[in-house]
Amino acid sequence: MNDAAIDLYWIPLGAGGNGFVQFNGRVYEATKARIERRESLALYHTALEVRTRTERFIVENAWPSPDANTSTRGVVVEGPVFSRRLARFRPFRYEVRRWPEGVIPDVGEAVESPRRLSADLDLAQVLLDLVPSVPALTWGRDVPGAGEMWNSNSVIAWLLARCGLAMGSIQPPSGGRAPGWTAGIVMARRPNGNGAEKLG
């Protein structure tokens, strides 16, 4: 078994999908770039591989929830997408996974990955223990004070910031960005690091 590690993967948005997410991401980024008067950048989704001395976990935020068998993929948090009222329907729920011996479906398309963030056993365990505490904020809604929406990158950034890692040194691949990253950092630095109740 390998030594403890926290590894970050930068995965192009929509990789391995049917093109819907990728298309909408491009439209979103083109609009955002026009408003901010800058060039469009490649968009990335993030995931973690966390290892202790005896176990390996995939920590990732996925939407939509594919089926009701959440235990088979280590789901520990579910949250609403766009509207809390609609979250009773699976297409409007996202899930946060702490998946023992899990997989990152699109890992083969990851860029400049994996990036080793830490080899500290205690830190790896702290991160794993934090996953069930991820705030179940509404996906796609702006986080006050962050200026951007809560999404999958927010979850990963929240976990890393709550662990105490130096967030300024963690940057997307050149020419890219990770929307929602700042929202996660902003939430993690608030007094309780939380902001919403989890779905029942």
pLDDT at position 39 is 84
pLDDT at position 19 is 57
pLDDT at position 200 is 33
pLDDT at position 199 is 40
pLDDT at position 90 is 86
Global model pTM greater than 0.95: no
The amino acid sitting at 61 is: N
Using a 10 angstrom Cβ sphere, with 0-12 exposed, 13-18 middle and 19 or more buried, the burial of residue 134 is buried
What pLDDT tens digit does each residue of the chain (200 aa) get? 458 999 999 999 876 555 555 656 666 656 776 787 878 789 999 999 999 999 999 999 998 888 889 999 999 999 999 998 888 888 899 999 999 999 998 899 999 999 999 999 999 999 999 999 999 999 999 998 898 999 999 999 999 999 999 999 999 999 999 999 999 999 999 987 665 444 43
pLDDT at position 197 is 40
pLDDT at position 35 is 82
Tens-digit pLDDT profile for residues 3-33: 899 999 999 987 655 555 565 666 665 677 6
pLDDT at position 74 is 97
Q: What is the DSSP string of the chain?
A: -PPPEEEEEEEETTTTS-SHHHHHHHHHHHHHHHHHTS---EEEEEEEEEE-SS-EEEEEEESS---S-GGGGTEEEEEEBS-TGGGGSGGGEEEEEEEET---TTGGG-EEEEEEEE--HHHHHHHHHHGGG---PPBTSBPTTTSSB--HHHHHHHHHHHHT--GGG--PSTTEE-TTHHHHHHHHTSTTS--SPPP-
Please say whether the beta carbons of 135 and 193 come within 8 A: yes
pLDDT at position 3 is 87
pLDDT at position 23 is 56
